[in-house]
Amino acid sequence: MRALLDNPEVRSERSIWAAPARVLIERRTLLRALIRRDLETALKGTMLGWLWVLLVPLILLAVYSFAFGVVFAAQWRDRDPQPFLFPMLYFTGLLLFGLFVNSLNRAPNLIRDNATYIRQIVFPVQVFVPVVIGAELVKFLVGLVVLVLAYLLIIGIPPLAAISYPMSVVGLLMFTAGICWAIAALGVFLRDLGQAMQPVSMIMLFLSPLFYPLSTVPDRIQLVFYFNPLTFPLEATRNALFFGEWPSFAGAFIYLLAGWVCAVAGFALFNRLRPGFADVL
């Protein structure tokens, strides 16, 4: 971290620890416009347009409910068997997984895809990462609405512990931003990163407690799983929403603190490498 802060552009910030938040606040109008443009570009030419943002999570939840709830009658280990509990748990985790991994998958080519802004005009290129995450966050929130409606219909009123849900999402967003800033900067110089993201996504799919609770992982390697930014929010949100279990407050504090450090470190690395972007592009 010290080496990153030696960069003059980074030192010129009023406070490197507040820099990621300052980008969101000072560029909020630009961010809203770019996020909308990003979503419109992805949906351009489709017959249903914005309706796809709602249809995708609806279709996924319906498919998971049929496959895991009806065909396989899958049950969550060590929990009382309940109809459709497993597909709801899986869909809940998949929303967080998609928010994180989809953002990371776009990061390696993010600067190259916007090379015009680097070569021809002075532009706050740091905003491209929040734009990508913001677009994925919109899709996540739509999926969350679908989850809430299905929850109320199938299970009923959620337990009080459900109010802890936003905390896990905020922590995951900070980790996502930090890692994306780092990958976006390194991806300018290392094109292999773009090819590596697909296998990395598959590895994370199976090495995250998405299909299974963390309790099924052998004790001797559970600590390793906690180095995965997805582990804490997956466990905390599912336990809170479906089993009424509050997350560890110490664990939540450590997770949020680590997420902020990750965001700051990723932002600092991005700023340090930014002067070399134009030479490569």
When pLDDT is averaged across residues 119-126 and rounded to a whole number, the result is: 78
pLDDT at 191 over 50: yes
The pLDDT tens digits of the residues spanning 89-111 come to 989 999 999 999 999 999 999 99
Give the CA angle between residues 100, 105, 110 to the nearest 5°. 115
The pLDDT of residue 63 is: 85
The pLDDT tens digits of the residues spanning 13-32 come to 457 888 898 889 999 999 99
The pLDDT of residue 5 is: 40
Report the C-alpha gap between 165 and 242 in whole angstroms.
11
* Confidence tier at 79 by pLDDT (50, 70, 90): low
Contacts 24+ apart (CB under 8 A), 123-128: 124/23, 124/27, 124/30, 125/274, 125/277, 126/23, 126/181, 126/267, 126/270, 126/271, 127/23, 127/27, 127/30, 127/31, 127/34, 128/34, 128/184
Which of the two residues, 178 and 14, has the higher pLDDT score?
A: 178
Q: Which two three-digit tokens encode residue 182?
A: 């780092």
The per-residue pLDDT of the chain, averaged, comes to: 86
Q: How many residues does the chain have?
A: 281
The pLDDT tens digits of the residues spanning 48-62 come to 778 888 888 888 888
Contacts of 38 by beta carbon, 8 Å cutoff, 6+ apart: 131, 132, 134, 135
The pLDDT tens digits of the residues spanning 213-255 come to 888 888 888 888 889 999 999 999 999 999 999 999 999 999 9
Regarding pTM above 0.85, the answer is yes
* Confidence tier at 6 by pLDDT (50, 70, 90): very low
The pLDDT tens digits of the residues spanning 131-163 come to 999 999 999 999 999 999 999 998 899 999 999
When pLDDT is averaged across residues 178-185 and rounded to a whole number, the result is: 96
